Chain A
Amino acid sequence: MPVVGIPRALLFYHYYPLWRDFLEGLGCQVVESGPTSRRILQQGLAAAVDETCLPVKIFYGHVWELKDRVDYLFLPRLVSVQKGAYICPKFLGLPDMVRHSLPQLPPLIAPTINMNRRGRGLLAAVAETAALLKADPWQTWAAFMRAWRRWRRWQDLQRRGLFPLEAQELLDGKGGGGEKRAGGRLRVGVLGHPYNIYDGYVNMGLLRRLDEMGVEVWTPEMLPSHTIASHARRLPKELFWTLGRSVLGAASHFLTDPGIDGIIHLISFGCGPDSLVGELVERRAQRGRGFPFLLLTLDEHSGEAGLTTRLEAFVDTLEWRQEE
């Protein structure tokens, strides 16, 4: 049984159950790298050229952690997962960047997914993966359908207010009632790419800290996709980055939702799309009477003390506003 590794980074936080269930359905044993750690970060930093953004550096670290204990690495080339949009140029070149940054890698399973090009969509990628693993077509199809259904269910659970990991545990039948955590005194929209929001190492336990402060967290993944899409479409020109659309659509929703007390936007140091999307979000928050907004830039040198202070100050502000 071939062992396939999935790095716990980047769009792992968006696709993991789909990838895992599909590969398992093809008869693979799937292992993922452990949660991001100091060691993983260090290895990523060592492998990357300086100018690389933090999320890709971390991705390298996860690949490094997996590479010697798997037969294959699953590293799809996600060009476009939505017609008319891209992820980010670095995702287009990711398998190549990984190949040229880390030595002695196992073979990569790197199907291309490009919804902008006919014949390069999901089904082609499924077929490509199956061919590489020499899986039989019927088994492939059945595995994919099952994985797809479970992935959709996982997304539904997130829309009911669960974080990806909680939804995963519920899906795997490991505890949890499937209900959102108890409501907090304050409700805050946390914006950002899934790999910034849900990687607790990178954001220094932001979600846990907010929970401890009695703040109820809302993320883009908890919103119905049509809400995000309809807000995102209101721009004079729609963004051509899928993750940017999700951040901006969620931001517009939070800004108009009277139940939301403030917004925290997590961006990565060196992230190209974030540099523009973050600007658009911040400008929207500041216009008019101004909406409580905290921008956190994550980098490899972030200190916990700084985060704690800024977070406490922000939550205090929200509380004062609520008392008024």
Chain B
Amino acid sequence: MKVTFPHMGTVAIPLKAFFRTLGVEVIEPPPITDKTISLGSRYSPEFACLPLKINVGNYLEAYERGADTIIMAGGVGPCRFGYYAQVQREILADLGIKYEMIVLEPPRGHLWQTLGQLWQLAGRASPARIWQAGRLAWAKLVLLDRLDRLAARTRCREKNRGETGELYRQALSWIDAAANLPAVAAVERRIRAAFEEVEVWDITPLRVGLVGEIYTVLEPAANLNIERFLGELGVEVERGIYLGDWVIAHLFLDALRLRKDRRLMEEIAAPYLGHFVGGHGLENISQTIEYARRGFAGVIHIGPLTCMPEIVAKTILPQVSRDWDIPAFSFLLDEHTGEVGLQTRLEAFIEMLRARAEKGTGLNLSGS
């Protein structure tokens, strides 16, 4: 069995650590390129959302490298993601590609079910081994989130443009190479030391919240490297979603019914959106309000074109933006979105935020 899985940001690093510790052979799809995206788009439904198409590109490229089993997450709706695997399976089968597909359906309140599925996958691994694999993957996940936050803080202040980006790339490979927990701890020290070395300006950068659908927020190839682009414009970006937080919330707290944060989000969003709408629709509304309360200069909202929950959010966001006096810029992406077009619009938005910050407040230029 040669296992592969779709990319989403840096999730491949902890996943590889998990499966390799269990002795499962992993074939990682090559990094997402324009070729991956056009390959995936060619065989996917035209109006499907972008992540589905990029997944298909990942599967096809991993297949060329010898993968024979896909591990994919499932879902119970209402967003399309929960049905991705079924459609992707049919696309691959009709192409005559022999792939085994293992779909991890989210537990409907049963943590044991998730654990059981993982155990089957792990192929008779001992509980001690699974625990070890889980801990290593978890340590890497936590470190990746810390790295992302550290990079965001440094990038907007760096004296030499691009230095943080370069260091970030190296740090990813260090984390990937760490074979055990002590090695992960050593890598963390090394990363912190390396970031200390980056020369920075002593400035207070403009702070912007990046909210939206999880895949487009986490995957630089889908969002045209928005985080790095904004950082290098001198903007400090805080994301609404970090992978570790998300895993805790969805894999564990949901199953144990401990989602107090969710109740809180619903309360915050209630004046604007009275019901969850799937995906990250409701979270976007409440996070935008949170960013306004915390004094952020603006919010950028991204998601895939035709994404149902994000369209609900995009419809409501202008009102939130007016009421809370925080400019919000919504942008929905697909495989045809051009990097230059997006960057020009982002530059204009940031320019506006700067002008607004200089004037104190006053002018309300919100809405997009």
- A-side residues, CB < 8 A to B, are 48-49, 51-53, 77, 79, 84-90, 92-93, 95-97, 100-101, 110, 112, 235-237, 239-241, 269-276, 278-280, 283, 287
Contacts and interface: CB of A to CB of B under 8 A. Distances in A.
Interface in B226-262: none
B273 interface: yes
Contacts of A283: 90, 94
A179 B279 CA distance: 45
A276 B274 contact: no
B314 A280 contact: no
B311 A276 contact: no
A279 B272 contact: no
Given A93-B281, A100-B316, A51 B311 contact: yes
27 contacts: A49-B311, A49-B314, A51-B314, A52-B315, A53-B306, A53-B311, A85-B77, A86-B78, A88-B308, A89-B79, A90-B312, A93-B275, A93-B281, A96-B275, A96-B316, A97-B315, A100-B316, A110-B274, A236-B89, A241-B78, A270-B306, A272-B49, A273-B80, A275-B80, A276-B83, A279-B45, A283-B90
Interface residues of B, number: 43
Contact of B273 (A85, A93, A269, A271): A93
Given A51-B314, A52-B315, A100-B315, A92 B78 contact: yes
Contacts of A271: 47
B305 A51 contact: yes
Contacts of A273: 80, 308
Contacts of B275: 77, 79, 92-93, 96, 112
Interface string B288-327: 0000000000000000011111011011101100000000
Interface in B25-76: 45-49, 74, 76
The 3 closest A-B pairs by CB, nearest first: A240-B77, A86-B78, A275-B47
B315 A237 contact: no
B78 A52 contact: no
Contacts of B80: 272-273, 275-276
B11 interface: no
Contacts of A239: 83
Interface string B74-110: 1011111011011101100010000000010000000
A90 B83 contact: no
Contacts of A275: 45-49, 80, 306
B267 to A, nearest CB: 15
B224 interface: no
A52 B278 contact: no
Contact of B47 (A52, A79, A270): A270
Contacts of A96: 272-275, 312, 315-316
A75 B164 CA distance: 51
A291 to B, nearest CB: 15
Given A240-B78, A272-B308, A283-B94, A95 B274 contact: yes
A237 B86 contact: yes
B19 interface: no
Given A96-B274, A240-B83, A272-B306, A86 B315 contact: no
Nearest to A269: B47
A112 B275 CA distance: 9
Nearest to B77: A240
A276 B316 CA distance: 26
B317 to A, nearest CB: 9
B276 interface: yes
A204 B132 CA distance: 62
Given A235-B86, A272-B308, A93 B48 contact: no
B306 A90 contact: no
Contact of B307 (A269, A272, A280, A287): A272
A276 B45 contact: yes
B332 interface: yes
Contacts of B139: none
Nearest to A279: B45
Nearest to B79: A89
B277 interface: yes
Given A53-B311, A93-B277, A276-B80, 14 more contacts: A49-B311, A51-B314, A85-B77, A89-B312, A90-B308, A90-B311, A93-B275, A96-B275, A100-B315, A112-B274, A241-B78, A276-B45, A276-B87, A283-B94
A275 B79 CA distance: 12
A225 to B, nearest CB: 20
A269 B316 CA distance: 21
Residue among A77, A239, A269, A276 having the largest count of chain B Cβ atoms under 10 Å: A276
Contacts of A112: 274-275
A239 B78 CA distance: 10
B285 to A, nearest CB: 9
A48 B316 CA distance: 11
Interface in B312-368: 312, 314-316, 318-319, 330, 332
Contacts of B272: 96, 100
B48 A279 contact: yes
B17 to A, nearest CB: 29
B76 A240 contact: yes
A287 B307 CA distance: 29
Contact of A89 (B74, B87, B309, B332): B309
Nearest to A244: B83
A77 B275 CA distance: 9
A88 B311 CA distance: 12
A97 B312 contact: yes
Contacts of A276: 45, 48, 80, 83, 87
Contact of A240 (B82, B89, B305, B308): B82
